Amino acid sequence: MPDTVKVKVTEGRFTLLETTEWQYQREEVERIDRSVYGVKAVVNDIGLQPKLTANRVKTEIEDALKRDAQIDPTNITVETAGNGVTLLARVHSWRERMEAEHVTFAAPGVAFVTNHVTISS
């Protein structure tokens, strides 16, 4: 568990607080806490605090999309605002659409993705 995460326990209810840098850390802390015997509920209030600027996050996502063999990045537009990312594109398959979203969520500090990628016929 990252040092930046705190857990508040009240009557079998875990509340996860503070921040992590990556979405996968946020999800992993919740997964681990759910597996503790006697836990009745887990509330994940962990925020994301990236060490990168929005422009750097955008560049990281664009570079990752170019490296992914399952995605044709030529028509994908990445827009960042705070800890959110919007994807705009037309791709060839549902798999390509979902892979673009997965790659985007893997970037540091991305808390939510608005996926406006459509499938071309």
Average pLDDT, the chain: 88
DSSP, residue by residue, the chain: --TTEEEEEETTEEEEEEEESSHHHHHHHHHHHHTSTT--EEEE--EE--SS-HHHHHHHHHHHHHH-TT--GGG-EEEEETTEEEEEEEES-HHHHHHHHHHHHTSTT--EEEEEEEE--
Residue 49 CA to residue 61 CA, distance in Å, equals: 17
CA distance 116 to 78: 10
**Strand 84-91, strand 112-119: pairing:** parallel
Residue 55 and residue 23: Cα distance in Å, rounded? 18
- Residue 65: CA count within 13 A, CB half-sphere: 24
Confidence of residue 103 (pLDDT cuts 50, 70, 90): very high
Q: Is residue 63 predicted with pLDDT exceeding 90?
A: yes
pLDDT of residue 117: 93
pLDDT in tens, 64-97: 999 998 888 888 999 998 889 999 999 989 999 9
Mean pLDDT of 45-51: 81
Does the structure show a pLDDT above 80 at 1? no
Q: Quick one: pLDDT band at residue 120, thresholds 50, 70, 90?
A: confident
Q: What is the pLDDT of residue 34?
A: 87
What is the distance between the alpha carbons of residues 110 and 55, in angstroms, rounded to a whole number?
12
pTM of the model: 0.60
Q: What domains lie within the chain, and their CATH numbers?
A: 5-48 (no CATH), 54-119 (3.30.1340.30)
